[in-house]
Amino acid sequence: MKLNTLRRTGSIAAVALTLSLGLAACGGEAESTTGSGETTQSGDTTQDDTQAMEEDASAQTYGAGCAQVPTDGAGSFNGMATAPVASAASANPLLKTLVAAVTEAGLVEPLNSAPELTVFAPADPAFAAIPPKDMKAVMADKQMLGSILKHHVVGEAISPDELSGEFETLNGDKLKINGSGEQATIGDEKAHVLCGNVPTANATVYVIDTVLMPS
């Protein structure tokens, strides 16, 4: 504040008013920061808010299989929530065979770059139930493998309460789901959800107990 710019002829009351306003402004600036330099203005996202959102990735998941998901690292719910779906799946210990199949079929980039998906992801035991000879033949036929994998993917986000119905898959056919939430059964095979509503950066994932076959 430049006191020397005040006119000498100004009244004492005017000077006092100017000083009080200046001090009030300075005081307001001091109150807008904390000791650590973080702003506390309403509407700002604090560190606690950010941490709470990050810890929320598992809040809406369900199913007994969720207990097998790591509690930290890239394969955890928080880790997967920050990565596109194929990359997120590659860090999940339940989905190793699926990731190998997606890689073999050349679908990693298409899945990662899609804006919004729902993926019904067979867990490793689902693939283990397929006779080894048949599994080897499918893995060797990229066209067939791609069709099977794309039959597990819907090009929209589906929440647990919206599961019931028929949905068009990336394979161009229909996937029928009976029931919603934990009661849902997926496809003609009536697959069950082991761990549902898992968030990734561009998809909602439902880990299921059966490999679905296109009709």
Q: What is the pLDDT of residues 143-174, one digit of tens each?
A: 999 999 999 999 999 999 999 999 999 999 99
- Chain segment 111-121, per-residue pLDDT in tens: 999 999 999 99
Residue 215: inside a domain, yes or no?
no
Together in a domain, 164 and 203: yes
Together in a domain, 102 and 149: yes
Q: What is the mean pLDDT of residues 46-72?
A: 77
Together in a domain, 23 and 57: no
Together in a domain, 4 and 65: no
Q: What is the mean pLDDT of residues 77-91?
A: 97
Angle between helices 142-150 and 132-140 (to 10 degrees): 100
Residue 53 has pLDDT above 90, yes or no: no
Give residue 140's identity as a one-letter amino acid code: A
Looking at 26, 44, 62, which one is the last position of a domain? 44
Residue 141: inside a domain, yes or no?
yes
Together in a domain, 101 and 31: no
pLDDT range class, residue 56, cuts 50, 70, 90: confident
Q: Rounded to an integer, what is the distance from CA 17 to the centroid of its chain?
A: 55
Together in a domain, 149 and 99: yes
- Residue 155 is part of a domain; what is its CATH number? 2.30.180.10
Q: What is the pLDDT of residue 22?
A: 39
Residue 214: inside a domain, yes or no?
no
Q: Which two tokens stand for residue 125?
A: 């035991």
Residue 115: inside a domain, yes or no?
yes
Q: Which residues contact 91 (CB under 8 A, 6 or more apart)?
A: 73, 74, 75, 79, 80, 83
Please give the tally of structural domains in the chain.
Answer: 2
- Chain segment 7-41, per-residue pLDDT in tens: 333 433 333 333 333 334 444 444 444 444 444 44
Of residues 76 and 16, which shows the higher confidence score? 76
Together in a domain, 87 and 29: no
Residue 63 has pLDDT above 90, yes or no: yes
What are the b/e assignments for 88-106, b being 16+ CB within 10 Å? bbbbbebbebbbebbebbe
Q: What is the pLDDT of residue 193?
A: 98
Together in a domain, 64 and 167: yes
Residue 189: inside a domain, yes or no?
yes
Residue 213: inside a domain, yes or no?
no
Task: Measure the CA angle with vertex 181, ends 177 and 182; round to 5°.
Answer: 100
Together in a domain, 23 and 94: no
Residue 129: inside a domain, yes or no?
yes
Together in a domain, 5 and 93: no
Q: What is the mean pLDDT of residues 41-52?
A: 45
Q: What is the mean pLDDT of residues 71-82?
A: 95
Nearest to 189 by CA among 163, 212, 215, 164: 212
Together in a domain, 16 and 82: no
pLDDT range class, residue 55, cuts 50, 70, 90: low
Cβ atoms of 207 and 65 closer than 8 Å: yes
Task: Measure the CA angle with vertex 158, ends 135 and 143; round to 5°.
Answer: 30
Range of the domain at 23: 1-44
Rg (CA), the chain: 28
Mean pLDDT, the chain, integer: 82
Together in a domain, 18 and 52: no
